[in-house]
Chains A and B, each alone.
Chain A
Amino acid sequence: MDFYSYLIIASISSGTPLLFAVLGGILSERSGVIFLGTEGTMLIGAVVSCLTFAGTGSMLLSVLASLAAAGGIGLAHAFLCVTLRANQIVSGLALTLFGTGLSAYLGKPVAGAALAVTVPRLSMPWLEKIPFAGAIFSNLDVFIWISFGLVAVLYLYIYKTSWGLHLRAIGDSPATSDAMGLRVGLTRYLHVIGGAMLMGLAGCYLIMVYSPNWMEGMTSGRGWIAIALIILAAWNPLYALGGAYLFGGLDALGFRLQLMEIGIPSYFLKMLPYLVTIVVLMIVGWRGRHVPSPEPKSLGSAYVREQRS
Chain B
Amino acid sequence: MTPGEAEVLFETLRDLKKSGKTMVITTHKLKEVMAVADAITIMRRGKTVVECSPESTSAARLAELMVGRERKESLPLQHRQALQPLQQLQPLQPHQRPQPRKPGDIVLSVDGMTVANEHGGRSLDGVSLQVREGEIVGIAGVAGNGQLELAEALTGLKEWAGGQMLYLGKRMERSSVRERIREGIAHVPENRMKSGLAGSLGIVDNLLLKSYDRTERSRFGLLRKKNNLNWAQELVARFDVRAPDLESPVGQLSGGNQQKLLLAREISQRPKLMVAVHPTQGLDVGAAEAVHAMLKKLRSDSAGVLLISEDLDEVMSLSDRIFVMYNGMIVGEADGAKPDREQIGRMMAGLNQSEEEAVV
By a beta-carbon cutoff of 8 Å, the part of chain A in contact with chain B is 290, 292, 309
Contact = CB atoms under 8 A, between A and B. Distances in A.
3 contacts: A290-B118, A292-B118, A309-B193
B6 to A, nearest CB: 24
A309 B193 CA distance: 10
A264 to B, nearest CB: 44
Contacts, number: 3
B184 to A, nearest CB: 31
B144 to A, nearest CB: 17
Nearest to A309: B193
A290 B193 CA distance: 26
Interface of B: 118, 193
Contacts of B118: 290, 292
A2 B280 CA distance: 74
Contacts of B193: 309
A60 B358 CA distance: 69
A5 B116 CA distance: 50
A271 B118 CA distance: 38
Contacts of A290: 118
Nearest to A291: B118
A66 B118 CA distance: 46
A291 to B, nearest CB: 8
Nearest to B194: A309
B291 to A, nearest CB: 21
Contacts of A309: 193
Nearest to A290: B118
A72 B118 CA distance: 43
A309 B118 CA distance: 24
A17 to B, nearest CB: 38
CB-CB nearest 3 A-B residue pairs: A292-B118, A309-B193, A290-B118
A198 B193 CA distance: 40
A290 to B, nearest CB: 7
A290 B118 CA distance: 7
A82 to B, nearest CB: 22
A309 B192 CA distance: 12
Nearest to B116: A290
B108 to A, nearest CB: 29
A42 B118 CA distance: 40
Nearest to A292: B118
A281 to B, nearest CB: 22
Contacts of A292: 118
A268 B71 CA distance: 74
A90 B60 CA distance: 54
